[in-house]
Structure 1
Amino acid sequence: MNDMASASITLHQPRRLVVGAGTIAEVGIWAGEVGSTLVLATPITSGFADRLQLTGKVSLFDAIPGEPDTATLEHALAAAREVTPDLVVGLGGGSVMDVAKLVAALWDGDQTLADVAGPNRVAGRRTRLAQVATTAGTGSEAGIRALITDEEKGAKVAVESPHLIADLAVLDPQLTFSVPPAVTAATGVDAMAHCVEAFTNRRAHPMIDGFARMGFRLVGQYLARAVKDGGDTQAREGLMLASYYGGICLGPVNTAAGHAIAYPLGTRLHLPHGLANAIVFPHVLAFNEPVVAEKTAEVAEALGFGTNLSQHALSEAAQRFCQDLGLQMSLSAHGAKEGDLPSFSTEAHAIRRLMDNNPADMQVEDVLGIYRAAF
């Protein structure tokens, strides 16, 4: 971005990371003799629980929706207090792993979600935590953040703490074979957006740039392949790595306007997070291009858009990239009403923790322009 020295960053990663086909079975070996385990999952991912090879008493809580809210967290905490687990396992996508982080950190203490919202407010004692990713998207297994929707406020509560980092993270591509093409596409674009938004960020850092580059290049290489053939182990593993790298980008640098503009689409229209990001991605990429031209050109080349593109051509190429993956890119097709867009814009613009990271200044009118272009 500029010639000044980068600000200092702190990088947190899981204590142990296992990558490869069939590695879900390592969870039991790593855990050893465990009295009781609470596995958090969705009704779909709970089917993998036997593959964890856990000893002792295993309890399953699988009532976690796509966008977990405060009620979901309360129910999961209640389940944990009944089980009194020695180990918590998140077995699912970002939603499940975010809930698992908070359950491991909160079930055995008196802190509430309100007490820990924001950075570095988690007290610190916590149950052992294993995160087993079943989608390649959020990179939640890599990171220190958990997001929960507050239904009353209609906004996301972000908790950030080193105490949320996993003791063990597992990236087993076989768990993603059954993810449907549309979900593969949306979550893949989400992983890419984490990398791109951190790469072109005001707080960009040379070390994080390295992870970001590896991430968006892998998406360029493998996402279309995985959408076409869900059982392509190499492509699935490439996307899991991209997702993990995106998760690392989120810690020290975080996302920017793209994610801020996507959030109201999740909380208000209940669009899956990855799809919301895909819909706004082309427009934000092009909006920021004049301020971060070199880095944007690098992204465009890695994703196969071509070189020396105008802002308009860049936006069109990114749209095509997403459409070719089978994503429905118009907001109106997802139930948005044109009259809602101004209130979405005010809401997105107010998410300063992300908007302030954006390389180009965005006014409320600019945000509205992006929603209109995506409409």
Structure 2
Amino acid sequence: MPRIPITGWWRCVIYFPVQRSGPGTSRLFAASAGRLNATAKARHRDQESKTKTLTFLRATLTKSRKQPIRPVESGLRATPRFPQVRASGEALPKNTAENPDAAGNGDMRMTDLFTFRGAKKIIFGRGAFEGIAGAVGELGGTKPFIVMDGTLARSGTAARTAELLDGNGLEHVLFDRVVGEPPLEIADEGAQLIRDANADVVIGIGGGSAMDAAKAMAALARGKDRAEQYLGLDRVPGPGLPTIMVPTTAGTGSEVTFTAVFIRNDLRKKEGMNSPFLYPDIALLDPLLTLSVPPAVTAATGIDAFCHAFESFTSRQASPMSELFSLEAIRLIAENLRTSVHNGSDADAREGMLLGSLYAGLGLANAGVTAVHSLSYPLGGRYGIPHGLANTVLLPVVMRFNLPAALEKYAAVAETMGEPVEDCSLREAAMYAVDAVEELIGDCGVDSTLETLGIARDDFDEIAEQAMKVSRPLENNPRALSPEDAIEIYNEAF
């Protein structure tokens, strides 16, 4: 199967396998490639992939008898960044009496600067994992250090990895002691083993926990620092060993982000390393590796990916480029998650989910997340609740809280998820987004609440205080959130 490289505005090359004929994946990747190339040429002004959404938004504002509710003061523009369109979909003339603010909020102004980063190289496609030895060689490696959890190792993944590396004459070392929500000490343990083995490339295989651990180990392996010293923003002093990340779940997007998150057992909280030196050198995504993921895990990780897409789309740090990835991730996940949960052997659905998770990760890496993540961190650090499940429980409640501050974007999400928004007011269309997400969660069989997860109401004051210290996502949130708001959100999720 030929691979067509797609170059973006960031320092990486994405390889998408494209079938010459046949349904399903060929249309999926061709459409994605077309949108990226068209966007680059038009400098994000026309944004053809959003035409239907824009038509709806303008038509809603024209037809509705109700006065649209404007966003609360939150730092967001009251007018969408998207180009203005007529109800018919035709673009309004620029810089004319008919459209006097065309040079203002309707289009992104030239003074609005943004950057876009991710893994240096992304390889995506069925069977991509078979090229793992070639990826090691591309980075100049001769002795890879493999990081995964014990369950995945026993499933046959470790044996298959060894077979592929041994077949190419690559000696390797396996570290299979990663656990879900890994403790910080595991990064120091793995880094020492890398130094002892003189390994020169680190491969993280698994979910977010394994990939986060691998990124941290690689950063620590070249020096004598302790993992605690790298916690926070830009605390990693320089490049570590080259890394290859191989996700086996469609969830965290860690294969393209600059973050590694750990549990501080001594403090009963989560903390993360955040540094551009943690961006992986190669992200290698093979949908076939996700076929055996159980339904419950598929649901939780899938909603986690959706959460990344939605939060990055509505983040105050979102850019025209990150919005493209985030909104397309929402579409892919909405279309493929139910099938992946209830018919896990459907390779097309699994492929769509992994691509959606990748896009959501790119959105997350560049626009950040919002209040859902701040509020969920104490649930993982204090109670050990899996990250994806904690986000799933909180997402609809936070969406309702943020809705008045991001009506236009919520309406775009509702339309993207296939909701019947054509004859709605802007606020009604925005509310459809919350309904659609609640239906998606319910259809995937997730019915947990904070109560069923064992969280006591008496703890809400304390965990709200901890959540408010996770300040960066709160700064991205479209609506200001107080400690009292946090407590009320926990109550609603109870």
Shorter-chain TM-score tier:
over 0.9
Aligned 8 A contact 1:86 1:127 in 2: yes
Residues 52-131 of structure 1: pairs in structure 2 closer than 5 A: 52=161, 53-54=164-165, 55-131=169-245
CA distance in 2, matches of 1:304, 1:374: 26
Aligned to 1:198: 312
| The 10-residue stretch of structure 1 (212-221 or 151-160) with the greater mean CA deviation from structure 2 | 151-160
Q: 1:60-91 deviations in whole A, cap 9, x for unaligned?
A: 11111110111222222232222221111001
* Aligned residue type for 2:370: A
Aligned 8 A contact 1:215 1:243 in 2: yes
Identify which of 341, 345, 368 aligns with 2:460.
341
Residues 242-261 of structure 1: pairs in structure 2 closer than 5 A: 242-261=356-375
1:365 aligns with 2:477: no
CA distance in 1, matches of 2:329, 2:341: 17
CA distance in 2, matches of 1:372, 1:305: 28
Q: 1:248 to 1:314 in 2, by over 3 A?
A: closer
* Aligned residue type for 2:127: G
CA distance in 2, matches of 1:190, 1:28: 30
Q: 1:261 to 1:110 in 2, by over 3 A?
A: same
Residues 231-310 of structure 1: pairs in structure 2 closer than 5 A: 231-307=345-421, 308=424, 309=428
Q: 1:345 to 1:121 in 2, by over 3 A?
A: closer
Aligned to 1:30: 135
Once the 2 structures are TM-superposed, how far is the Cα of residue 305 of structure 1 from its aligned partner?
4.8
Identify which of 432, 438, 442 aligns with 1:319.
438
Aligned to 1:45: 152
Q: 1:246 to 1:300 in 2, by over 3 A?
A: same
TM-score normalised by the chain length of structure 1: 0.94
Aligned to 1:352: 471
Residues 177-188 of structure 1: pairs in structure 2 closer than 5 A: 177-188=291-302
* Aligned residue type for 1:83: A
Q: 1:152-200 deviations in whole A, cap 9, x for unaligned?
A: 2222222122221222111111111111111111111111111111111
Q: 1:241-272 deviations in whole A, cap 9, x for unaligned?
A: 11111211222221010111111111122111
| The 10-residue stretch of structure 1 (147-156 or 95-104) with the greater mean CA deviation from structure 2 | 147-156
- Percent identity, please: 36
Identify which of 4, 8, 13 aligns with 2:118.
13
| The 10-residue stretch of structure 1 (144-153 or 206-215) with the greater mean CA deviation from structure 2 | 144-153
1:289 is paired with a residue whose SS is: helix
Once the 2 structures are TM-superposed, how far is the Cα of residue 31 of structure 1 from its aligned partner?
1.9
Larger radius of gyration: 2
* Aligned residue type for 1:185: A
CA distance in 2, matches of 1:212, 1:311: 17
Once the 2 structures are TM-superposed, how far is the Cα of residue 313 of structure 1 from its aligned partner?
6.5
Aligned 8 A contact 2:245 2:283 in 1: yes
1:216 is paired with a residue whose SS is: helix
TM-score normalised by the chain length of structure 2: 0.72
Aligned 8 A contact 1:346 1:364 in 2: yes
Aligned 8 A contact 1:45 1:134 in 2: no
Q: 1:322-367 deviations in whole A, cap 9, x for unaligned?
A: 1210112311111111211221222112211111111111111211
1:258 is paired with a residue whose SS is: helix
2:172 is paired with a residue whose SS is: strand
Q: 1:88-132 deviations in whole A, cap 9, x for unaligned?
A: 100111111111111111112123223322232322242221111
Aligned 8 A contact 1:194 1:247 in 2: yes
CA distance in 2, matches of 1:118, 1:9: 22
Q: 1:261-295 deviations in whole A, cap 9, x for unaligned?
A: 11111112211111111101111111111110010
Q: 1:65 to 1:327 in 2, by over 3 A?
A: same
CA distance in 2, matches of 1:253, 1:162: 14
Runs of 4+ with >4 A deviation? 4-7, 310-317
Unaligned segments of structure 2, at least 5 residues? 1-75, 78-104
Aligned 8 A contact 2:337 2:349 in 1: yes
Aligned 8 A contact 1:135 1:240 in 2: yes
The CA RMSD measured in Å over matched residues stands at 1.9
* Aligned residue type for 1:349: M
1:17 is paired with a residue whose SS is: strand
CA distance in 2, matches of 1:49, 1:240: 21
| The 10-residue stretch of structure 1 (37-46 or 314-323) with the greater mean CA deviation from structure 2 | 314-323
CA distance in 2, matches of 1:64, 1:298: 39
